[in-house]
Amino acid sequence: MAEARRGLRIALFGPPGVGKGTQAAEIVKRTGVALVSTGNMLREAMREDTPLGRKVCSVVDRGDLVPDDLVGELVATRLGRDEARRGFLLDGYPRTVAQALFLDAFLEARGEALDAVVNLDVPEAEILDRLTGRRVCGECGATYHALNNRPRVEGRCDACGEALAQRPDDAPNTVTERLRVYAERTAPVLDHFRAAGLLVRVDGTGAVAEVLERIARAVPGILG
């Protein structure tokens, strides 16, 4: 992994299915900054089947958002670690105006601020195809697609051979609800960051490398 770029603090933004996680992994690999993924933290809580995990699971299965105070606590703890103080990339946070205000205040108290918020833009029809066709290995987390990235053996992970499944929140009805919730509760966060002069729009369609190149052009210095 690359040496962390001191002070690089960015957030990837956009509705479910635009490729935030994929691009976040590529950027972190090249910059060495800490990845702060609320999705990863919440899925870990669900896998552990703790009281918190079961509560999170019931919310996610409905296609709703996890309460702001709970997510804020998780993010604050993660950003408080030493590696995050050297730079970080937020994936999946903030998702509401209240979360954005919490993040602003948290960073300001440490004398820090975001450098940029990258909004990945993908047509809704493509998002629906991406998510409803996604299949995930429950053992190693490898991701496939029923049409565009099929495993060598139908229903089995290429990496570990375990069964693939559709995540409950990728079912068609749930995806539609997730996008509705995003439009209602998350899209207004764009106005918050636009007013702060932090928002940059990037076309999220096409190959991973193409989208990464667009991000690099939109945020000078992000990849060197």
Catalytic (active-site) positions: 20, 95, 134, 167, 178
35, 130, 138, 139, 196 from 162: Cα distances, Å: 27, 22, 7, 7, 46
Tokens representing 189 are 């966060």
Helices 188-195 and 97-109 pack at an angle, to 10 degrees, of 40
Helices 208-218 and 20-31 pack at an angle, to 10 degrees, of 60
Q: Which helix (H) or strand (E) holds 146?
A: none
Q: Are 22 and 132 contacting, i.e. CB atoms less than 8 angstroms apart?
A: no
Tokens representing 88 are 């970080």
d(CA 5, CA 8): 6
Tokens representing 89 are 């990339």
d(CA 185, CA 96): 6
